[in-house]
Structure 1
Amino acid sequence: MTVAPLPEIAILLYDGAQAAAVHGLTDLFAVATRMTRERGGGGALRVSHWRPEGAAMACVFDSEPGAAHRPAILIAPPSLAPLMPAEAMRPLARWMAEAHEQGATLASICAGAFVLAETGLLAGRPATTHWGYAGLLSARFPDIRVDADRLVIDDGDLITAGGVMAWTDLGLVLVERLLGPTVMLDTARFLLVDPPGREQRSYRAFIPRLDHGDAAILKVQHGLQATGAVGAALPAMLAQAGLEERTFLRRFRKATGMTPTEYGQQIRIANARAALELTRRSVGQIAFDVGYEDPSAFRKLFLRLTGLTPGAYRKRFGRAGSGD
């Protein structure tokens, strides 16, 4: 009787790859294997680690040594180091692309998206990365549809995950795909982590673009920041910039990537997030303090921009307890 080969998940070890993610994923898949066997299933996951050695890729760890390698999944892990130069990523990307041609699914986490992007396979496809890298990924690979609000984008043969710790989310997505939803939930419960479904926008901070070189727009940005964008009105912004409306709106979007209305909303919601995290003030009071007279409108906007209601946000991130 021929025994079917175990699904192999290969993790790339490149310069600066986060060791915690590499070993954490290895442990997560080991737990999933244990969970499926405890349920009487025969499924298991084989995990291997690979790094460049000369012009080739060498396996330096194998959880089930012996059988020939043919990874079903290849993962480019996150990194806490500065991004590698593109030329250093290309040998890894070529190896990933060759495996993809043989039927492998490719995955990335955080900065690993840049390695995956070097394959060229993300062109015209949706992808996510850490929100802090989203602008750079879009600039370097303008044909990728970058969506940094989402924590995991499963696009079939290509899966991308956002933040540094999103390896837990990616790992559970892969467990569900390879071993089923029951084993995935068992694994999540054992590790005390949330099942996939979180959104990155709940964690994303508003970091305004200030290095665009447009002095008139920068002056307005500083003014909005100083006032918390409370009561911000277009005529006052036009006067501050010394520009006529059409020119101002065009230059503001070019400099910031947003309309003045969207920019003001981001500042006000950022201030509301801080108040929810650090104070016990009620949601209604916070809404008024940041510039919204209608708490209902504030709640809808907060949900749209963060993916959570104000109450749910405070429950998850608050450090001062709940307000009314």
Structure 2
Amino acid sequence: MTKAVHPQKGRVSVLILTYPHAQQSAIFGLMDLLNAANDFYQRDRGKGSPECVFSVVTRDVDTVSFEQEDSCTACTDSVVIIPPCLGHTPKEFASWPHLLSPWHQKGTLICSICAGALYLAQTGLLDDRPATTHWSLEEEFLKRHPEVKLNIDKLLIDDGDIITAGGLMAWVDLGLRLVERFMGSATMLTTARFFLVDPGGREQRYYSSFSPSFGHGDAAILKAQHWLHKHFNEPLTVPMMANEACLEGRTFIRRFQAATRLTPSKYLQQLRVSKARELMELSRMNIEEIAWQVGYEDASAFRRVFQAITGLTPRDYRKRFSPLNRIDEVL
């Protein structure tokens, strides 16, 4: 657990920036979660513990200014949060660097959620640093900001002065991390129990699906991809894939990785695990049957690959995500 960092004068100034298509449920959800944490902290803090309170406000990115908000955050810890963008790919806004960089230089903790990381990356603050965003934005993000060490497996990356959270609902994880940082683990756990949410240990790869790129423009690799998606459950080798693409082996591997960002073998593993996830969610086949259906003769090897990609064992994945499993438990 993170050790609580109690702010001066007991106030943590939290500014949530709003913009067109920002996810309103994340904005108001964070406000509710942090305000609830205020109540729990005041109720449960021990005698002699410093007083702490989140002061949460929202401002439109087109009207806010560093000077305006900086005067309100003097002598306090301050946090700026960029919420998710709902239903649209974030566009370039010239105002982001002018806003966020001065705050960061003054010691403000900068946070983003989901697509908000694309706005944060525009400032250069994420250059050569680890960050996460929604798994479906990986290709767009890397195209715009290849200098960022993107890790979409993680639901939340706390890099000290910058925190990035992955999915649309990762505002919950970010909110709990802020509560833990400023009010301590006890208040964080109380808040998590109140909202009936998992206080930690989740990863984005539990939920992400395999979304290969088909728009890379390499016709030979595209032909091999289409062939793989038809024959994924057969015994396949890289030479067979290269033959389908009509390319020499080394050339095929190099071009395949350039087009898909995966080696041919890793691509096949991802494809097979994706099919296995569907079978675990929607069928009652046992693990050995599923392994065979997706192209693995050795169920133990399948289990190792599955856990390496999803972060969960096949059994734990089915327990967490299969509606059929929940029906069986009720019956």
Q: TM-score, normalised by structure 1?
A: 0.91
* Aligned AA (2:162): L
Is 2:86 the counterpart of 1:50?
Answer: no
Q: How far, CA to CA, are the matches of 1:317 and 1:55 in structure 2?
A: 42
**Paired residues of 2:40 and 2:191 also in contact (CA < 8 A):** yes
Aligned-residue Cα RMSD (Å) equals 2.0
**Paired residues of 2:90 and 2:115 also in contact (CA < 8 A):** no
**Paired residues of 1:229 and 1:267 also in contact (CA < 8 A):** no
Q: How far, CA to CA, are the matches of 1:55 and 1:304 in structure 2?
A: 44
Is 2:190 the counterpart of 1:167?
Answer: no
Q: How far, CA to CA, are the matches of 2:177 and 2:132 in structure 1?
A: 15
Structure 1 residue 137: Cα displacement? 1.4
SS of aligned partner of 2:325: coil
Question: Match for 1:317 among 313, 321, 327?
Answer: 321
Question: Match for 2:25 among 20, 23, 33?
Answer: 20
Matching residue of 2:34? 29
Matching residue of 1:78? 84
Flag structure 1 segments of 5+ consecutive residues without an equivalent.
Answer: 61-66
Identity across the alignment (%) = 44
- Which runs of at least 4 in structure 1 moved beyond 3 Å after TM superposition? 52-60, 67-71
Q: How far, CA to CA, are the matches of 2:10 and 2:325 in structure 1?
A: 51
Relative to structure 1, the CA distance from residue 307 to residue 8 in structure 2 (aligned partners, 3 Å threshold; closer, same or farther) is same
Relative to structure 1, the CA distance from residue 50 to residue 40 in structure 2 (aligned partners, 3 Å threshold; closer, same or farther) is same
**Paired residues of 1:272 and 1:286 also in contact (CA < 8 A):** yes
Question: Match for 1:109 among 110, 113, 116?
Answer: 113
Matching residue of 2:3? none
Structure 1 residue 59: Cα displacement? 8.5
Relative to structure 1, the CA distance from residue 78 to residue 53 in structure 2 (aligned partners, 3 Å threshold; closer, same or farther) is closer
Alignment of 1:97-246 (within 5 A): 97-246=101-250
**Paired residues of 2:152 and 2:204 also in contact (CA < 8 A):** yes
Structure 1 residue 220: Cα displacement? 1.2
Q: How far, CA to CA, are the matches of 2:35 and 2:64 in structure 1?
A: 30
Alignment of 1:274-289 (within 5 A): 274-289=278-293
Relative to structure 1, the CA distance from residue 14 to residue 58 in structure 2 (aligned partners, 3 Å threshold; closer, same or farther) is farther
**Paired residues of 2:221 and 2:256 also in contact (CA < 8 A):** yes
Q: How far, CA to CA, are the matches of 1:85 and 1:256 in structure 2?
A: 24
Q: How far, CA to CA, are the matches of 1:307 and 1:230 in structure 2?
A: 25
SS of aligned partner of 2:11: coil
Q: TM-score, normalised by structure 2?
A: 0.89
Matching residue of 2:12? 7
Greater RCO (CA < 8 Å, at least 6 residues apart): 2
Structure 1 residue 43: Cα displacement? 2.4
Q: How far, CA to CA, are the matches of 1:234 and 1:8 in structure 2?
A: 55
Could you give the per-residue CA deviations for residues 62-87 of structure 1, whole angstroms, max 9, x where no partner exists? xxxxx93446110000011323431x
* Aligned AA (2:102): E
Could you give the per-residue CA deviations for residues 235-279 of structure 1, whole angstroms, max 9, x where no partner exists? 322322122212211211112111111111011100110011111
* Aligned AA (2:144): R
Q: How far, CA to CA, are the matches of 1:274 and 1:84 in structure 2?
A: 30
Q: How far, CA to CA, are the matches of 1:280 and 1:197 in structure 2?
A: 27
**Paired residues of 2:66 and 2:102 also in contact (CA < 8 A):** no
**Paired residues of 1:50 and 1:58 also in contact (CA < 8 A):** no
Q: How far, CA to CA, are the matches of 1:213 and 1:221 in structure 2?
A: 12
Q: How far, CA to CA, are the matches of 1:221 and 1:83 in structure 2?
A: 26
Q: How many residues were matched structurally?
A: 313
